[in-house]
Amino acid sequence: MPMTVERVDKRTIIRMEGEFTVTSAVELKSLLLEGLASSGELEVDLTGAGEIDVSLLQLLWTAGREAQGQGGRIVRGVKESAKAAAREAGFESFPGTGGRGAGGG
């Protein structure tokens, strides 16, 4: 479940590869908070992510709403399987992509 962080100019990129469950939530939350506080652009790259637990979807949704409030969005490169899991969990669009979020938001 590796998560790597790359900083390019004022952009923070969190890359997630592998399976992510509730055990990954604390680390992801810390990285998201740090990225949002950096006053730059935050991006979460999920192209290498497999299974994503609902607790991580909730974190991405919350961070996405915060980023949207700042005029941005955070998630890119989402596999169709992750999008389907998000829809099954009640999200109309994948959290953090700038869509309406959970429950018709």
pLDDT, one tens digit per residue, over 9-21 is 888 889 999 888 8
98 pLDDT band (50/70/90 cuts)?
low
Domains of the chain and CATH, by start = 3-88 (3.30.750.24)
**Whole-prediction pTM:** 0.80
Q: How many CA atoms lie within 13 A of 8 on its CB side?
A: 5
Q: Locate 31 and state its tokens.
A: 């990285």
pLDDT at 105 over 60: no
Q: Pinpoint the alpha helices (H) of the chain.
A: 25-37, 54-69, 80-88
**Triad 47, 58, 30: Cα angle to 5°:** 75
- How confident is the model over 22-30, as a mean pLDDT? 91
If you ran DSSP here, which 8-state letter would residue 6 be given? E
48 pLDDT band (50/70/90 cuts)?
confident
pLDDT at 37 over 90: no
